[in-house]
Amino acid sequence: MNYKDLADLIFPNAKEISYYEEKYPERNLPEGAIVSRFAPSPTGFVHIGGLYQALVALEMTKKTKGVFFLRVEDTDQKREVENGVTGIVNSLKDFNMVPDEGMITETEEIGKYGPYKQSLRKDIYEAYAKYLLEQGKAYPCFCTSEQVEEIRKKQEAAKIRPGYYGVWAKCRNLTVEESIEKIKNGEKYIIRFKSPGREDRKIKHHDIIKGNVDFPENDQDIVIIKADGLPTYHFAHAVDDHLMRTTHVIRSDEWLSSVALHLQLFHELGFKAPKYAHISPIMKNDNGNKRKLSKRKDPEAAVSYYKEEGIPVNAVKEYLLNIANSTFENWRRANPDKDMEEFDFQLNKMSVSGALFDMIKLLDIGKTVISKMTAEEVYENSLNWAKKYDKELEELLQDKEYSLKVFGIERGNKKPRKDISKWSDVKNSIVYMFDNKFLNENVVYEYVKINNKEEINKILQAYINEFFDINDEKDTWFNKIKDLAEKCGYAREVKEFKENPEKWPGHVGDISTVLRIALTGRQNTPDMYEIMQVLGKDSVIKRLEKAIAKN
């Protein structure tokens, strides 16, 4: 009896690995093309850190004309969630990050290197596990979880390194005959990797982001096939990324300490190891301590948050790119109108330590992104967001032609307005422009400097009767407001008022403020001339009359 007999007993139907090696040949790609992937577990939501990794991988594959694929790592059925794959696919789609290969719906996929869902690759893992078994590089382990736990406790008590290795790996030294007999007796088992490593030896690893890192060799006989017949992450990673011909594994740096194991696995399986790039996670300040963004505590950890809040997709991506390569910011300033895809992303320029998430900066980017959009784009985005999250805004936006005029205020010039950083800001910034709301609502007019009722009414009435003409050009229009100021006994110019403040009760700016508040119910608005032009003659008069009536 030999290893072959044992392997045949455990996996009688597994194919030869040559079958898979031929089925998934080397990819025919140009020199330097990077093949990378996003490989999440369908556990419920996509984390912003996951999106970050995916973005980085996508940038690199696009830049090198390679392949970016989506693989679903669903080997832990306990944690799986209904429609988890759909959630992942849709989240990527929301950010216009569509993979070249992989899952496209809950059950469908595209690409020749599939299946892209690990639970569907069981036969493949078995073939490779069998391959290891045949060579004595893996073995069945009959220890129960309780026994393994006991070993760990003993190790802890003795203050020695915990784990299933060396002398502690009881089943590692079972003879083939003993193993076969146990299996035939119906004893339960899992498959472990027989590590050839020694803890007192070091291996060198070059990580694209972290640089040179030395680790002790792995000597743990880790589980490769679990009791449920599915592989563990480590084994699946080696088999899948080899067969899918991944050139670059771009993943979160919580995996860094596993590379010693992974490299060993690749070596023992006879695979060429991929290059690794371990990304520092996005952190959050928690009472002075840094910690990873957590789904439970931080709403902004889930990518769905950005969609709900209406933070523009490109703002999120630019912010992430900014964290990834700080040169992006300079590039953006030099190329304000270029598509972000044109930025030359550098993997090795990524920061080695984790950045604290900065919502304020994100929103600042959002402001700039939106300020560069046309009125039409702002309209479309606002409407799409409103349809899902704000019925009232959706109703406001029914009159497209008028909405476009509203969004066109102070837009499209060299210094566009920057007062909207996310779609959820839109309603507040435009509601007062809509007559069916404004004229029918109980507006509270909070006058400031000039707050005497008679005085206000006198100003408003005089403006309607003697000065307002919707057809005036801007200069004429403003001169008339100065005339109004003068007529009411106020200074025509702010400057002359400041020189002799005792001479007048106020100046043209105070008069403008009265008009602005009467017109919009607000102290602060965009350019009042443009507002009047958009509102139109009738609306302006109705609004001023309403303000008079309310006094």
Partner RNA sequence: GGCCCCGUGGUCAAGCGGUUAAGACAUCGCCCUUUCACGGCGGAGACAUGGGUUCGAUUCCCGUCGGGGUCACCA
Report 445-464 residues binding RNA (CB under 7 A): none
> What's phi and psi for 244, nearest 5 deg?
-85, 0
Using CB under 7 A, which of 107, 326, 436, 476 touches RNA?
Answer: 326
Q: Are 530 and 538 in contact (CB under 8 A)?
A: no
- Check binding of 193 to RNA (CB under 7 A): no
Residue at token pair 């931080």:
298
Using CB under 7 A, which of 210, 307, 411, 543 touches RNA?
Answer: 210
* Residues 254-313 interacting with RNA (rule: CB under 7 A): 254-258, 281, 283, 285, 289-292
Q: Please, which residue, 125 or 385, has the CB nearer to RNA?
A: 125
3-state secondary structure of 537: helix
How far apart are CB 541 and RNA at their closest, in Å?
Answer: 18
Distance of CA 154 to the CA centre of its chain: 44
Q: Please, which residue, 273 or 481, has the CB nearer to RNA?
A: 481
Q: Would you give the DSSP letter of residue 340?
A: G
- Check binding of 44 to RNA (CB under 7 A): no
* Residues 393-422 interacting with RNA (rule: CB under 7 A): 410, 415-419
Q: Are 50 and 40 in contact (CB under 8 A)?
A: yes
Using CB under 7 A, which of 8, 76, 100, 300 touches RNA?
Answer: 76
Q: Are 266 and 159 in contact (CB under 8 A)?
A: no
Q: Please, which residue, 333 or 503, has the CB nearer to RNA?
A: 333
* Residues 77-136 interacting with RNA (rule: CB under 7 A): 79
Q: Are 497 and 503 in contact (CB under 8 A)?
A: yes
> Applying CB under 7 A, what is the total number of residues that bind RNA?
84
Q: Which long-range contacts (CB under 8 A, 24 or more apart) does 338-341 make?
A: 340/314, 341/62
Q: Would you give the DSSP letter of residue 373?
A: S
The pair of three-digit structure tokens given for residue 295, joined into one six-digit string:
């789904």
Q: Please, which residue, 2 or 351, has the CB nearer to RNA?
A: 351
Which residues are paired to 301 by β-bridges?
Answer: none
- Check binding of 490 to RNA (CB under 7 A): no
How far apart are CB 507 and RNA at their closest, in Å?
Answer: 8
Measured CA to CA, the distance from residue 59 to residue 347 in angstroms comes to: 9
* Residues 226-245 interacting with RNA (rule: CB under 7 A): 226-228, 230, 232-233
- Check binding of 217 to RNA (CB under 7 A): no
Using CB under 7 A, which of 110, 450, 470, 528 touches RNA?
Answer: 528
Q: Please, which residue, 261 or 273, has the CB nearer to RNA?
A: 261
How far apart are CB 16 and RNA at their closest, in Å?
Answer: 25
- In this chain, which stretch among 35-43, 95-103, 267-275, 295-303 interacts with RNA, using CB under 7 A? 35-43
Alpha helix stretches (DSSP H) within 211-280: 233-243, 259-268
- Check binding of 527 to RNA (CB under 7 A): yes
- Check binding of 348 to RNA (CB under 7 A): no
Q: Are 37 and 71 in contact (CB under 8 A)?
A: yes
Q: Are 426 and 381 in contact (CB under 8 A)?
A: no
Q: Please, which residue, 167 or 549, has the CB nearer to RNA?
A: 167
DSSP for 279-299? Answer: EPPPEEEETTEEEE--TTT-G
- Check binding of 53 to RNA (CB under 7 A): no
How far apart are CB 36 and RNA at their closest, in Å?
Answer: 16
Using CB under 7 A, which of 53, 61, 247, 322 touches RNA?
Answer: 322
Using CB under 7 A, which of 67, 526, 540, 543 touches RNA?
Answer: 526
3-state secondary structure of 275: strand
Q: Please, which residue, 125 or 379, has the CB nearer to RNA?
A: 125
* Residues 2-21 interacting with RNA (rule: CB under 7 A): none
* Residues 127-186 interacting with RNA (rule: CB under 7 A): 143-145, 148, 152, 159, 161-164
Burial category of 528 from C-beta neighbours within 10 Å (exposed 0-12, middle 13-18, buried 19 and up): middle
Measured CA to CA, the distance from residue 429 to residue 425 in angstroms comes to: 6
Using CB under 7 A, which of 23, 112, 361, 449 touches RNA?
Answer: 361
Using CB under 7 A, which of 183, 213, 375, 450 touches RNA?
Answer: 213
- In this chain, which stretch among 18-26, 96-104, 171-179, 516-524 interacts with RNA, using CB under 7 A? 516-524
Alpha helix stretches (DSSP H) within 398-473: 400-407, 423-430, 435-438, 453-462
Residue at token pair 């690409």:
111
Measured CA to CA, the distance from residue 93 to residue 6 in angstroms comes to: 47
Q: Are 301 and 357 in contact (CB under 8 A)?
A: no
- Check binding of 439 to RNA (CB under 7 A): no
> What's phi and psi for 46, nearest 5 deg?
-95, 130
The pair of three-digit structure tokens given for residue 359, joined into one six-digit string:
């919502």
- Check binding of 353 to RNA (CB under 7 A): yes
- Check binding of 349 to RNA (CB under 7 A): yes
- Check binding of 318 to RNA (CB under 7 A): no
Q: CB 79: neighbour CB atoms within 10 A?
A: 12
Q: What would the x/- binding string for RNA be over residues 463 to 482, using CB under 7 A?
A: ---------------x----
